[in-house]
A and B are shown apart, each in its own frame.
Chain A
Amino acid sequence: MEEPKSSAPSSRSEPGQGGQGDGAGGAIILFFILGLAASLLVGWVAFPALLYSEKRQPVDFNHALHNEIVDHGCASCHFFRADGGFSGAPKLAQCIECHREANSDDPEEIRFVEEYVKPGREVPWLVYARQPDCVFFSHAAHVRLGGIDCAVCHGPMGESTSLRPYQENRITGYSRDIWGWNIAGIKRNSWDRMKMDDCAECHAQARVPGGSVQTQKDGCFVCHK
Chain B
Amino acid sequence: MDQPKNKRYGMVIDLDKCTGCGACMVACMAENNIPFRDDDTDKLLSVSWMHVYRLSNGKPFPQAEECFLPRPCQHCEGEHGHSPCVSVCPATATDYDMHTGIVSQIYTRCFGCRYCMAACPYHVRQFNWWDPVWPEGMERALNPDVSVRMRGVVEKCSFCYSRYQTALNRAYVEGRRELAEEEYQTACAQACPAGAIVFGDLNNPRHRVHRIVQPDLAHGGRPRNPKAFRLLERLGTHPKVYYLTGRDWVRRAGDNEVQKS
A157 to B97: give the CA distance in the assembly, Å: 36
Name the residue of chain B whose CB is nearest to the CB of A224.
B106
Q: A84-B166, A209-B1, A212-B95 are in contact. Are A225 and B145 (CB under 8 A)?
A: yes
Q: A211-B98, A211-B99, A225-B161 are in contact. Are A138 and B172 (CB under 8 A)?
A: yes
- CB of B225 within 8 A of chain A? no
Contacting pair A141 B172 (CB below 8 A)? yes
Residues of A within 8 A of B222 (CB): none
Name the residue of chain B whose CB is nearest to the CB of A143.
B172
- CB of B171 within 8 A of chain A? yes
In whole Å, how far is A215's beta carbon from the nearest beta carbon of chain B?
A: 7
Residues of B within 8 A of A145 (CB): 1, 172, 177
- CB of A220 within 8 A of chain B? yes
- CB of B104 within 8 A of chain A? yes
* Total interface residues in chain A, CB < 8 Å: 30
A211 to B170: give the CA distance in the assembly, Å: 21
In whole Å, how far is B145's beta carbon from the nearest beta carbon of chain A?
A: 6
- CB of A219 within 8 A of chain B? yes
Query: What is the 8 Å Cβ interface bit string for chain B, positions 136-174, against chain A (1 contact, 0 not)?
Result: 000000000111100000000010011001111111111
Contacting pair B95 A134 (CB below 8 A)? no
Contacting pair A212 B98 (CB below 8 A)? yes
Contacting pair A213 B96 (CB below 8 A)? yes
- CB of B46 within 8 A of chain A? no
In whole Å, how far is A211's beta carbon from the nearest beta carbon of chain B?
A: 4
In whole Å, how far is B175's beta carbon from the nearest beta carbon of chain A?
A: 8
A145 to B4: give the CA distance in the assembly, Å: 13
In whole Å, how far is A93's beta carbon from the nearest beta carbon of chain B?
A: 20
Residues of A within 8 A of B108 (CB): 132, 134, 224
A225 to B1: give the CA distance in the assembly, Å: 23
6 contacts between A and B (CB under 8 A): A139-B169, A140-B169, A141-B168, A221-B97, A221-B102, A225-B161
